[in-house]
Amino acid sequence: MAQEKIATLERRRLLGDLYGLKGWFAGGQCVDHIPRGELVALGKNPAGQTCLYAHGREYPLDASLLYEVRRKSEPVREA
């Protein structure tokens, strides 16, 4: 499977809830729910992993989670 290119901090708005995202923040690990309507960003972390960024947290995504995020979100148009 070809590696999908991710633009640096591609901003997206969630159209559906995301549950059980395992992520990291300054104090440790977390498992979160991100509700519909939230603004999030997709990008690469320093280790080269594709991640979702929201509320100051980083959520590494495997291929199936990346597909789910893309399916449940739309790009935010910059003004």
- 38: confidence class by pLDDT, cuts 50, 70, 90: very high
pTM: 0.81
Going from the C-alpha of 28 to that of each of 21, 31, 32, 50, 57, the distances in angstroms are 14, 11, 13, 19, 10
The sign of the torsion formed by the CA atoms of 34, 38, 42, 45 equals: negative
- 65: confidence class by pLDDT, cuts 50, 70, 90: very high
Is residue 61 domain-resident? yes
- 2: confidence class by pLDDT, cuts 50, 70, 90: very low
Number of structural domains in the chain: 1
Give the residue numbers spanning the domain of 39: 10-75
Is residue 2 domain-resident? no
Report how far residue 15's alpha carbon sits from residue 23's, in angstroms, rounded to the nearest whole number.
20
Is residue 36 domain-resident? yes
The tens digit of pLDDT for each residue in 7-27 reads: 578 999 999 999 988 888 777
| Residue 16 confidence (pLDDT) | 95
Is residue 4 domain-resident? no
